[in-house]
Structure 1
Amino acid sequence: MLRHQQGREGEDLARQFLERQGLTFVEANFKCDIGEIDLVMRDRRCWVFVEVKYRTLDDFANILEQIRPAQCQRIRQVAQLYVIQKRLNEHLTPMRFDVVAVVDALEQLYWLEDAF
């Protein structure tokens, strides 16, 4: 399976999982010049920006180690642009950054709320 296709499959699984946890889907793959956010969700009044990591092997720790500080900063910047583009009040918009790791080989998902 192509890497891009695997990534989309992982995002779909993560979306379905988060919806079962009570979050509401807003948008997938929000892109701008500096980066992309895999999923934008709502958890009650909180906007949740989700980074999805898809792997075929069970190496959860390795997945989290792959999210470097520079990537966290870039995701935060993209989220700020999202808030501006969607004309949300950035001072009154609670935001959270989650990570969902999808491990295909074991058909498991790991959800790390407020990861960074």
Structure 2
Amino acid sequence: MPDMKPVQDIHAHHLGKWAENQALNILQANGFKLVIRNFHSRVGEIDLIVAKADELIFVEVKARTLGSYAAANEVLLVSQQRKIIKTAQYFLNRYPDYQQFYCRFDVICFDFPHKIAKTVQQDFSKLRYDQQWIENAFTL
């Protein structure tokens, strides 16, 4: 029997990918170039790593809908921050050309102020949402 994911997991995956694409569009519109997407280490993942001039930004993307226990900008726990920091350090060790860059950690959040049907494939761009880009959201 095939391994079936619950509908809400599939929905969350689609919403997450949409949010990452939107965040990347925002970053590129501000002159940043994608270095790598979904960079993994054994301790964690960074959604987007972008660069502009001598600046390197590690970006966490969050999206939440009404009914979530908190707004998108409130859900990055200290333990998650530590994992992102360790993954960023791993990235810098693996790609030493970026070690001289100014590095920061940003969070880009998308909050949908209404419930979204979990069984329908959505074009999230057509729905109303609030977007927030938090620069220097946390530090080493």
Q: TM-score range by the shorter chain?
A: 0.7 to 0.9
Change (3 A) 1:39 1:33: same
| Residues 64 and 71, structure 2, Cα contact 8 Å, conserved in 1 | no
Give the corresponding residue for 2:104. 96
Using the size of structure 1 for normalisation, the TM-score is 0.86
Count of matched residue positions in the alignment of Structure 1 and Structure 2: 114
Within 5 Å, which residues of 2 pair with 1:99-114? Answer: 99-104=107-112, 105-114=127-136
CA distance in 1, matches of 2:52, 2:98: 17
Q: Is the 8 A contact 1:14 1:102 kept in 2?
A: no
Aligned to 1:45: 54
TM-score computed with the length of structure 2 as normaliser: 0.73
Percent of aligned positions that are identical: 32
Report the structure number with the largest CA radius of gyration: 2
Partner amino acid for 1:93?
A: F
1:86-111, Cα deviation, whole Å (9 max, x unpaired): 22353x23101000002344233210
- 1:19-98 to structure 2, matched below 5 A, reads 19-57=28-66, 62-88=71-97, 90=99, 92-98=100-106
Would you say the 8 A contact 1:101–1:109 is kept in 2? yes
AA of the residue aligned to 1:9: W
Give the CA RMSD over aligned residues.
Answer: 2.0
Residues 80, 55 of structure 1: CA spacing in aligned structure 2 closer, same or farther, 3 A cutoff?
same
Which runs of no fewer than 5 residues in structure 2 stay unpaired? Answer: 1-9, 113-126
- Matched residues in 1 for 2:110 and 2:131: separation? 5
Mapped to 2, the partners of 1:96 and 1:89 lie a distance apart of 12
- Kindly state the Cα deviation for residue 85 of structure 1 after the two structures are TM-superposed: 1.1
User: How far apart, in 2, do the equivalents of 1:94 and 1:77 lie?
Assistant: 16
